[in-house]
Homo-oligomer: A and B are copies of this chain.
Amino acid sequence: MAIVGGGPSGLVAGYYLARAGKKVALFERKLSVGGGMWGGGMMFNEIIVQESALHILEEFGIRYHHYEETYYTADSLEAVSTLISGAIKAGLTIFNCVSVEDVIMRPERVIGLVVNWSAAEIAGLHVDPLALRSRFIIDATGHDTEVVRVVQRKVPGKLNTTSGKVEGEQSMWSDKAETLTLKNTREVFPGIYVAGMAANATYGGPRMGPIFGGMLLSGERVAQLILKRLKS
């Protein structure tokens, strides 16, 4: 199994898949893993999590405090480092400094990834990539939906969305974002699931801001969907 993107939804997905005993690798373009969570909201190191996602914080042992109504806060640096630490200890293998250039395609489905050193890309070196097979791929690359966009470019109009294309992220609507993110966490093309902000960007859901509950729940959900499928 391959996860692309090392933000909160990718890490949570990797945790639950690895804990279930699956062999799962996560590819992150940057040197450090964790994505936008390091910066909290505008560099104030606080994130907000909805009540419905507290069980995931508890699963990892991340401390939280009540904020108001059904919202809780956590330290963004504690959250991101503990998610990474917990996912690796659960068995997730992380390849950082690696970017995804392409997918391996069969007529009926995607069966793998084409990866490369992101440093070579940044340095402008012409280096050929390597290919890796993977039964399922989770696109957790956030706004950019990098894997889904490769598929869209190579086989136009075939995505499992209303228009057949990436619908594009909508403006912020925090209240609805959590529910819609979960609904949008699904298989968008045979072999490719979307999770986290990539799910909203693919299906046209609203963005969230520094409220991370939806991200965490989306990671949990995509792991459940794939585990169920593997059993059936």
Could you tell me which residues of chain A, from 165 to 211, have a CB within 8 Å of some CB in chain B?
A: 168, 170-174, 206-207, 209-210
CB atoms of B33 and A77 under 8 A apart: yes
Task: State the number of copies, please.
Answer: 8
Contact with A38, one of B37, B96, B119, B123 (Cβ below 8 angstroms): B96
Contact with A84, one of B81, B104, B130 (Cβ below 8 angstroms): B81
A-side interface size class: 35 or more
CB atoms of A35 and B126 under 8 A apart: yes
Contact with A174, one of B41, B42, B131 (Cβ below 8 angstroms): B131
A45 on the B face (CB < 8 A): yes
Q: DSSP class of A's interface residues: helix, strand, loop or mixed?
A: mixed
Q: A154-B170, A172-B103 in contact; A120/B39 too (CB < 8 A)?
A: yes
A positions within 8 Å CB-CB of B: 31-45, 61, 63, 75, 77-78, 81-82, 84-85, 88-89, 94-97, 102-106, 110, 112, 114-120, 122-131, 150-151, 153-155, 168, 170-174, 206-207, 209-210
